[in-house]
Amino acid sequence: ADEPAAHDEL
Amino acid sequence: MNIFRLFGDLSHLAAIIILLLKIWKSRSCAGISGKSQILFAIVFTTRYLDLLTSFISLYNTSMKMIYIGCSYATVYLIYAKFRATYDGNHDSFRVEFLIVPVGGLAVLINHDFSLLEILWTFSIYLESVAILPQLFMISKTGEAETITTHYLFCQGLYRALYLINWIWRFYFEGFFDMIAIVAGVVQTILYCDFFYLYVTKVLKGKKLSLPA
């Protein structure tokens, strides 16, 4: 699984 | 969004509000580590710069604004408004021993060598150790007010719930972020000693006091 482009977590 | 992440965020929000109200209502920051609160303000500032660049959701944006606002308000109350009640002698943890290694690590190990990403990584690593000055202060004073222990419990529970959220997201979405997970595990482990004291003492109505 790739890392997130934009971090969607707080 | 899943239930673990939602309750993790609500637990984090509760911790921030409990602390702010405790200081505001009692007009005192006795027993509170100002250094930890400065570190948390740095964590939120460096992590939420993406408020300026990307919009995820209303929930995401509003929670980030609340976290940043409350953390700066807390630092202001400790170092300005109720400065006279700040226990600087016991809040003596050398935070430079945290910031420098964390800063170095963020430059070495990150997902992308861009300014925003390095600052986000710095914020993730810093958050995992940001509570150390507070735990150190409690070990020096040998005790903590009960409301402070509730604050710490919510603060510790939030990242523990995030760990479950990451298991959930890996299983259902195939998503995982190794940097956040490793830092989150370290962060939660640092609370284990406190969790034990909280469950065995505070939940039984006793005051949290350490063998000095």
H or E segment to which residue B198 belongs: helix B178-200
Please report residues of B whose CB lies closer than 8 A to that of A9.
Answer: 5, 162, 165, 180
Tell me whether residue B208 is in a domain: no
User: What sign results for the dihedral spanned by CA atoms B1, B182, B47, B157?
Assistant: positive
Tell me whether residue B125 is in a domain: yes
In b/e form, how buried is each residue of B179-209, taking b as 16+ CB within 10 angstroms? Answer: bbbebbeebbebbeebeebbeebbeeeeebe
Q: Phi-psi bin for B175: left (phi > 0), alpha (psi -120 to 50), beta?
A: beta
Q: What domain range includes position B188?
A: 3-201
Contact yes or no for A6 and B54 at CB 8 A: yes
Residue B211 pLDDT? 77
Q: Which residue of B has its CA nearest to A3?
A: B177
Tell me whether residue B210 is in a domain: no
Tell me whether residue B110 is in a domain: yes
Q: Is the pLDDT of residue A2 over 60?
A: no
Q: How many Cβ atoms are within 10 Å of B100's Cβ, its own excluded?
A: 10
Name the minimum distance, in Å, from the CA of B206 to any CA of chain A: 34
Tell me whether residue B155 is in a domain: yes
Q: Does A6 touch chain B (CB under 8 A)?
A: yes
Tell me whether residue B212 is in a domain: no
Please report residues of A whose CB lies closer than 8 A to that of B64.
Answer: 10
Residue B121 pLDDT? 98
Residue A4 pLDDT? 53
Tell me whether residue B154 is in a domain: yes
User: Which residue among A1, A3, A10 places its CB closest to the CB of B64?
Assistant: A10
Tell me whether residue B207 is in a domain: no
Number of folded domains that form chain B: 1
Residue A6 pLDDT? 85
Q: Pick from B158, B145, B128, B126: which is nearest to B19 by CA?
A: B145
Contact yes or no for A4 and B176 at CB 8 A: no
Please report residues of B whose CB lies closer than 8 A to that of A8.
Answer: 56, 60
What is the C-alpha to C-alpha distance for residues B162 and B175, in angstroms, rounded to an integer? 13
User: Which residue among B47, B54, B174 places its CB closest to the CB of A1?
Assistant: B174
Residue A1 pLDDT? 44
End-to-end CA gap in chain B: 43
pLDDT in tens, B38-82: 999 999 999 999 999 999 999 999 999 999 999 999 999 999 999
According to DSSP, the residues that pair with B143 across neighbouring strands are: B209
User: Going residue by residue through chain B (212 aa), what tens digit of pLDDT does each one get?
Assistant: 999 999 999 999 999 999 999 999 999 999 999 999 999 999 999 999 999 999 999 999 999 999 999 999 999 999 999 999 999 999 999 999 999 999 999 999 999 999 999 999 999 999 999 999 999 999 999 999 999 999 999 999 999 999 999 999 999 999 999 999 999 999 999 999 999 999 999 999 999 998 75
Q: Phi-psi bin for B9: left (phi > 0), alpha (psi -120 to 50), beta?
A: alpha
Indicate which of B9, B46, B49, B56 best probes the interface with A, i.e. most A CBs within 10 Å of its own CB.
Answer: B56
Q: Stretch A1-10: mean pLDDT, rounded?
A: 73
Checking ipTM against 0.85, whether it exceeds it is: yes
Q: Does A4 touch chain B (CB under 8 A)?
A: yes
